[in-house]
């Protein structure tokens, strides 16, 4: 019988933590991301236009040996219906109708007037542009990337400092009349070893936390 039980949160948390690290690295430090992650982060927020996507696809194909990163990003084309009429031989240079056409019969995709942008250089330019746009929109992206923001006040009650040491970590909730205790955690530490336990509301340690919540200024 095949078990369909889902893995525990303890088993899954590392994967989810890594995904959040990657998500916010794209916002706060896109310059540290590799090109593929920059493109992924950008595509989650914006549409990649057809021209950029074509270059990205060609670069990925070159990595698999199915294209050439050194090939021209945009092949030369000539649209000369009349040899006396100037026309573009590629996206950069004009042909004035005299002499040999810059796109030769043997190499119609190579412009003879100058070096064209290659697939690789075009790809690098796209990635740099995506990085810059992510940086420029970082504040807006942060606001859209979180569900909600809340604050908690944590009070620490030191019981002993060591060997071994212990303390209470108390989460407080602000109310009109002051602060109420929301959670209490007991911590026990001995050198490099540490353990903690949640404290029940009927515990005397909870009462200790309530006492200091009422008497100590935490503002």
Q: How large is the average pLDDT for residues 208-216?
A: 92
Sheet with 178-190: list strands edge to edge.
153-161, 165-175, 178-190, 193-198
The closest of 141, 173, 140, 196 to 26, measured between CA atoms, is 141
Domain range annotation of the chain: 11-65+123-145, 153-215
Please report the pLDDT score of residue 81 as a whole number: 45
Q: Is 74 exposed, middle or buried (0-12, 13-18, 19+ CB in 10 A)?
A: middle
Cα(45)–Cα(26) distance, integer angstroms: 11
The DSSP output letter for 78 is: -
Q: What is the pLDDT of residues 2-12, one digit of tens each?
A: 556 778 888 88
Q: What is the pLDDT of residues 167-185, one digit of tens each?
A: 999 999 888 778 899 999 9
Q: Which residue is listed with tokens 């909600």?
A: 148
Q: What is the pLDDT of residues 46-72, one digit of tens each?
A: 899 999 999 999 999 999 988 888 877
Q: Is 138 exposed, middle or buried (0-12, 13-18, 19+ CB in 10 A)?
A: middle
């Amino acid at each position: 019988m095949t078990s369909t039980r889902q893995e525990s949160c303890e088993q899954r948390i590392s994967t989810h933590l890594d995904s959040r690290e990657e998500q916010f690295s794209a916002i706060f430090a896109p310059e540290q991301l590799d090109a593929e992650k920059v493109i992924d982060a950008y595509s989650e927020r914006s549409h990649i236009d057809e021209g950029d996507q074509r270059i990205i696809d060609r670069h990925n194909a070159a990595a698999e040996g199915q294209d050439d990163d050194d090939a021209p990003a945009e092949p030369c084309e000539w649209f000369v219906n009349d040899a006396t009429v100037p026309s573009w031989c590629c996206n950069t240079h004009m042909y004035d109708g005299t002499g040999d056409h810059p796109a030769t019969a043997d190499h119609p995709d190579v412009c003879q007037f100058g070096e064209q942008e290659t697939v690789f250089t075009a790809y690098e330019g796209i990635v740099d542009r995506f990085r810059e746009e992510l940086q420029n929109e970082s504040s807006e992206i942060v606001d859209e990337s979180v569900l909600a923001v809340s604050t908690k006040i944590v009070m620490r009650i030191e019981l002993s400092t060591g060997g071994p040491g212990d303390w209470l970590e108390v989460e407080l909730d602000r109310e009109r009349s002051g602060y109420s205790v929301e959670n209490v955690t007991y911590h026990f530490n001995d050198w490099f070893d540490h353990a903690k336990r949640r404290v029940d509301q009927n515990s005397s340690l909870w009462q200790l936390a309530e006492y200091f919540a009422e008497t100590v200024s935490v503002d």
